[in-house]
Amino acid sequence: MSETIAAAPSIGHSALVVRPIAGSIGAEIYGLDLTCPLSDETFEAVHEVFLQHLVIFLPEQQALNPDQLKEFAGRFGEIDTAPFVHPLKMPSLEGYPEVFNVIKEASNSAINIGGFWHADVTYRERPHLAAVFYAKETPDFGGDTMFANQYLAYETLSDGMKEMLSSMRAVHSSDMPHGREDVRFGAVSKDHAPTDGDRKFEATGLETTRVDIIETAHPVIRVHPGTGRKALYVNRAFTSRFEGMSVEESLPLLHILWAHAARPEFTCRYRWTPHTVAVWDNRATQHYAINDYYGQRRHMQRISIHEATRPV
């Protein structure tokens, strides 16, 4: 059943149609044309859906140029221009350093960027608020992305666990000590199983970089600045350990929290179509790009948005 939200007449439609895609997270929005700038009233309506559903999808768009994608992304906050995938260097669009090309060729049997449950760049003092994703070329089947609601991950913890975690902080590291090759999967299809070598970062064909390791501590339970709701804020990609504890002491509890964060009941799975635009809230979600489209090409573009302040 559709939910309808009034939209500004300047976009040429009387209403935005919002269609939830799962019970816990995710919604499609119809009635927008992103080739035209959105009025303030229309963007406020879109932003409200974003806060409510945590990840929004805008399918059936016209082909967007980089300036149009930047125009839309910039409405969510300060655009990030720094490379953020370590140790892989993701190429950006010529002349647009903030627009990253996420391309996987049909013949590439290696791991994919984002191919495990994670939140983005949480090792930074100001991680990403959101990511804006644009589907340029999609497989005929496969290549879906899953998203998990971290409000629910927190709210379904036991009272004892909530109390224990409420004052704890976790150290997040750009070195990805628990999110490297051994937790990722090479490309698969019904006729192709990956080999051990496909898990190696070098097998991707992307440029690899070595940079100084960044470590930052954040609350294990953070408060979303836009909604006031609490969310679980640890992820396998970057959370190294709990502050004041060793890695060995931290790992048993981290494994419990990582598994809990990705319960199927908290998730949605989205099948991309060309020219769909998505925005996910990195403050209260995790996501997983499924690497099951070997033999088909996938080309996405991404712009990331900074958080205004450190998580609290």
Residue indicated by tokens 């970057």: 238
Q: Determine contact, residues 77/196, Cβ cutoff 8 Å.
A: no
| The one catalytic residue among 287, 292, 298, 306 | 287
Q: Is 263 a catalytic residue?
A: no
Q: Which amino acid is at 264?
A: P
230 phi, psi to nearest 5 deg: -90, 145
Q: Is 302 a catalytic residue?
A: yes
The span from the CA of 186 to the CA of 205, in Å, is 13
| The one catalytic residue among 218, 298, 302, 306 | 302
| The one catalytic residue among 118, 124, 224, 241 | 118
Q: Is 271 a catalytic residue?
A: no
* Residue of 61, 63, 2, 9 whose CA lies nearest to 27: 2
Q: Residue 95 forms beta bridges with which residues?
A: none
Q: Which amino acid is at 99?
A: V
Task: Map 112-173 to HEC letters.
Answer: CCCCCCECCCCCCCCCEEEEEEEEEECCCCCCCEEEEEHHHHHHCCCHHHHHHHCCCEEEEE
| The one catalytic residue among 53, 80, 120, 199 | 120
Active site residues: 118, 120, 287, 302
